[in-house]
Amino acid sequence: MKKMSQPWLRLSAFLVAFTLCAGLPGLPKAHASQVDVLIEKLVEKRILTRIDAETIRAEVETAEKKDFKAQVKSSTPWLEGLTAKGDVRLRYEGFERENEDSSDRNRYRFRVRWGLEKKLNDEWKAGFRLATGTGTNEATSTNVTFDGEFGLKQIFIDQAYGIYTPTARVKEWMPAVDKVEIGAGKVANPYNDKWATTIIWDGDVTPEGIYQAIDFKIADVGEEGSWKWHNLLGQFVVDEDSNLSPGDVEMLAFGTGTTYSWKKGHDVSFKFTYYDWQDYIQFQKTNPSSLASSFGGNDREVDDFKVLNFYADANFEVPTWWGRQNLKLFGDYAHNAGLQEGGSTDEELRNPDLRGDSDDAFSLGATLGAAKEQGEWTLTYEYLYIEPNAVVGNFAESDLGVGYANNQGHRLSWKYMILKNLEFNATAWLVERIDKTILTYGSADLRPNGDDDQLLRTQVDFVYKF
């Protein structure tokens, strides 16, 4: 009788092992240990070599995983397209004042965020995110302080949204279109990061309303680059009070800009955005909001917020002692065009004296490195300057000193990836107020009138992402 060839032996052994492992109608499934016993017997009888045995064992495991995934998919179809992600952050934070008469502060905080997103098809997706926080009167922080005699901490709805991206459909009749996106609900801020720095938006703010984004590809540049034109519109609800004066409060945003990329990771962007805060300051003066920061460092003489914002950045690689690293240079400028000349003359205000316009803000900075994989790091320096009437202080950077407008200072931060999903952050803020004659009603403005001390705010974080 002719001896069976080696490939056929391997194939036969694999089919037997897989049949026992996966199971056929009328045959019981074998556990992984039973499959291992069968393979070892075949090795002992020299039907298989040790190398063949390990190869078959790996192939069986792969087939078993595919079979398991297929069973899960058929039994729970709603799981298809469903993704979950979140993070846990532990933070130490210290406040050290230059003035010896002012008390320093040490606190320990944490943040938890977790959300689900469901991709319904190629065009539609919806999701939500939960986060810790101190209550509905805080728009710029999801931190919770270790405090309250071990009391339980609260979870809030941080995001709840639906997103429609008919890019392929629109591209059929308008080939120049590169991206079309419409989002609605309590959304991740579309104007963060690539459209502005935190002189406009604190990173934790999640606005509520609708936005529309459409990008066009103007031209291809070389083999990897492109020239694009961006457009981003937003219609956001700030407060719904139909029975109160001045009624509903909204913020309309109009953004346009361009990005020129000559190869991957090498680009220059310019963005312009106009923010129209309709009746917001009148609402604050008539019916002080529930925000913990109240006027957020804004002078109570301010009349309106019509903010013009110009943002630019450049990304490219540079040689360093540690090899070639990514370098990002960025700048941001904001001007409140809605401020009336000389401000308000209402003598009943707490700050009746005129103090000029104070309607400009800017930031300049650089980031070296791109901390994405284990062992990588990022170093960032930024200078921020926010005059009292330049931007809506309630939603600007909350870590700048005691937060919000009427502050100037430096930020130096270092991020290191301990593991792919575990990062270490160290940040130092050296900040002082710009106009020391202003005392707003906000709890965020804790220093007495005329205090001229500097504040050193340090933060040390460990962040686990999952």
The average pLDDT across 275-281 equals 90
Q: Output the average pLDDT for the chain.
A: 84
User: pLDDT value at position 184?
Assistant: 98
334-340-344-350 Cα dihedral, nearest 10 degrees: 0
User: pLDDT value at position 23?
Assistant: 47
Helix residue ranges, H only, 296-365: none
User: pLDDT value at position 360?
Assistant: 95
Numbers of helices and strands, H then E, in the chain: 5, 17
pLDDT at residue 286 above 50?
Answer: yes
pLDDT band at 285 (very low <50, low <70, confident <90, very high): confident
pLDDT at residue 194 above 60?
Answer: yes
pLDDT band at 465 (very low <50, low <70, confident <90, very high): very high
Quote the CA–CA distance of 401 and 408 in Å, as a whole number.
Answer: 8
**88-187-107 Cα angle (round to 5):** 35
With contact defined as beta carbons under 8 Å apart, do 180 and 174 qualify?
no
Give the whole-number percent of the chain exceeding pLDDT 90. 56
The average pLDDT across 399-410 equals 89
With contact defined as beta carbons under 8 Å apart, do 307 and 337 qualify?
yes
The average pLDDT across 319-328 equals 91
The average pLDDT across 198-214 equals 97
pLDDT at residue 443 above 60?
Answer: no
- Lowest mean pLDDT, pick from 165-169, 239-243, 332-336, 350-354: 350-354
pTM of the model: 0.81
Quote the CA–CA distance of 330 and 462 in Å, as a whole number.
Answer: 26
With contact defined as beta carbons under 8 Å apart, do 157 and 187 qualify?
no
Which H/E stretch holds residue 119? strand 105-119
pLDDT at residue 294 above 70?
Answer: no
